[in-house]
Amino acid sequence: TLSKINVSGAGNLTGTLTTNAIAGVATFNNIQIDAAGTYKIVATSTDIGDVTSNDVVIAANPANGYYRSRQSGSWTNMSTWEASADGVTYVATATTPTSVAKIISIRNGHKVSIDSNINIDQVVIEGGGVLASSNTFILNDGVGDDIIIQSGGTLEHTASNAAASFNGSSTISVETGGLILMTGGSLSQVPNNPSNYIFKDASVLEWPQNNAFGNTTYFPNVDDVTIPILRISGNANAGAGNSSPL
């Protein structure tokens, strides 16, 4: 007879839980646990007593799961993430998030680095969280905004090839107090894709580099009452002695 112990998670053990041993071997063909979590399986026998398994980890299905950062690290490193089937109970995961996940959250105090070409969607950068890209990433066009940078959150481009490659009408929404930080690359990669970036009032686009940031029109799509911030924090100039329209 099989039973389970919940280490974390609230799944139910179902199937045929009792069977007869044949030549000393009891085979269970159809058991399952219906929620992500960590469990121990207990086998009970009147002849040999109870035997308890090592931890059994049930990972959330990335096709319909939620992901959130559990520590700083590379996007493609499983230890960076934990996953959930319901967005409530999170456990360690054996997968990394892709564009088919429901919501991917970068949490306060965590810096997640994109260092290879990946396909993402439905990303929320929470206050105090950082998504740092040193490589081009593909942003899928899902439901609503495809990256949301909340107040205090940061999307950092750290290299010249670190810009998003937009599929369809995918968008990056920079909320009030959210930040796009251009520690690498060209500042023009943002205004060159004006329909893909949504800057809210008091959102920030920051240029901390010491080289020229070029002549272009920044925030071309904002209305008269929306005032995003272009912050020049490096020892930079507009290039060639010309002025840059803002």
**CA distance linking residue 226 with residue 74, whole number of Å:** 35
Tell me the average pLDDT across 131-135. 93
Cα 72 to Cα 36, 107, 167: the distances in Å are 23, 9, 27
Highest-pLDDT range among 23-32, 114-123, 210-219: 114-123
**CA distance linking residue 220 with residue 192, whole number of Å:** 10
Question: Which pLDDT score is estimated for 95?
Answer: 86
Tell me the average pLDDT across 75-80. 94
Question: Which pLDDT score is estimated for 11?
Answer: 79
> Nearest-CA neighbor of 182 among 245, 129, 236, 139?
236
> Lowest-pLDDT range, 47-61, 126-140, 204-218?
47-61
Tell me the average pLDDT across 107-134. 96
